[in-house]
């Protein structure tokens, strides 16, 4: 079974630009999550999709962040406009309904300069 795929693996953008991160979950996993780790800090929850619906977006920092999940398959996380404090590693994870434990992707390292 293919794992959770994220791309790009790295992105360096200037403050004020737009960046879109993509996540392809494991096929058949209805649950999809986005998390972020800022350097040296905890991995912090951003939001949770069940299929194409946002179940919990309580961790989204502000309205510069927009997440979508097209047809309940892949998901994108757009940051517009990017600020310096948005730098970090963005992780996507997926799980089957009712399962405990996630499968994480390798992450996208975003650097805003």
Partner 1 sequence: QQQVKQSPQSLIVQKGGISIINCAYENTAFDYFPWYQQFPGKGPALLIAIRPDVSEKKEGRFTISFNKSAKQFSLHIMDSQPGDSATYFCAASTSGTYKYIFGTGTRLKVLA
Return the residue of 21, 67, 93, 110 that touches partner 1, per CB under 8 A: 93
- 61 and 47 Cβ atoms separated by less than 8 Å: no
Determine the length of the chain.
113
User: Which single residue is written with the structure tokens 């350097």?
Assistant: 39
Q: Is 40 in the site for partner 1 (CB under 8 A)?
A: yes
Q: Which is nearer to partner 1, 19 or 31 (CB)?
A: 31
Q: Is 74 in the site for partner 1 (CB under 8 A)?
A: no
CA 66, chain centre distance (Å): 10
Order the strands of the 19-24 sheet from edge to edge: 5-7, 19-24, 75-79, 65-69
Return the residue of 44, 51, 64, 78 that touches partner 1, per CB under 8 A: 44
Q: Which is nearer to partner 1, 30 or 76 (CB)?
A: 30
Q: What is the distance between the alpha carbons of residues 79 and 77, in angstroms, rounded to a whole number?
A: 7
Q: Residues in the site for partner 1, rule: CB under 8 A?
A: 4, 31, 33, 35, 40-45, 48, 55-56, 58-59, 91, 93, 95, 100-107
């Amino acid at each position: 079974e293919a794992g959770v795929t994220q791309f790009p693996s790295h992105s360096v953008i200037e403050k004020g630009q737009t960046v879109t991160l993509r996540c392809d979950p494991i096929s058949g996993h209805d649950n999809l999550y986005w998390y972020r780790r800022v350097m040296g800090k905890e991995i912090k929850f951003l939001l949770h999709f069940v299929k194409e619906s946002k179940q919990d977006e309580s961790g989204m920092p502000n309205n510069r962040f927009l997440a979508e999940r097209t047809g309940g398959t892949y998901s994108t996380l757009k940051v517009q406009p990017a600020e310096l404090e948005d730098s970090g590693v963005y992780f996507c994870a997926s799980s089957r309904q009712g399962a405990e434990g996630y499968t994480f992707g390798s992450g996208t390292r975003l650097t805003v300069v």
